[in-house]
Structure 1
Amino acid sequence: MAVVMTLAIPFFLFLTVWQTGRYAEIDSELRSLDMEQQALVNQNKRLISAITVLSVPERIERVATEELYMRKARSDEIMRIELKREGLGG
């Protein structure tokens, strides 16, 4: 019994040290992933704000007229096409 106890004590000490090292490694990885997630959340917030700013109708019209040299169509330039849908049964 004394031999088993003598061999068990170092084994359990080694196991405890190994588990502590493993815990520290996992904790470090968790902190790293948490920081990465926070950075992605912040980037997502910035992108949503940018989309909101860029999709304002006044801005879209300004870009269309000033940068793309577009203009609103006059009524005589608009052509309306009507499609008639025929039924299958006649």
Structure 2
Amino acid sequence: GAAVVNKGDKTWLINGEAKPGLRTDAVFELDFTGDNLKWNKLAPVASPDGVAGGFAGISNDSLIFAGGAGFKGSRENYQNGKNYAHEGLKKSY
């Protein structure tokens, strides 16, 4: 699942799942300041295949995301019709 961090009027969603077992690299910021919700897409995480089990938090007023595991090539496998996208791939940390 996604890592979720909240501080004040802002909440960040980091990663998530395109389908069970297939992560995304997406990062979103939800800004609840005032009467309107602003939904902002931020720069993606460094892993194009996403990260499973990453940790997120705030340190010295900076959003951090670290750890987790991934399967390099899983997104490409899925886009090529391989529904079991991790099959034959090695886990990387």
Normalized against structure 1, the TM-score is what?
A: 0.17
Q: Which has the higher contact order (CA 8 A, sep 6+)?
A: 2
Higher strand share: 2
Normalized against structure 2, the TM-score is what?
A: 0.16
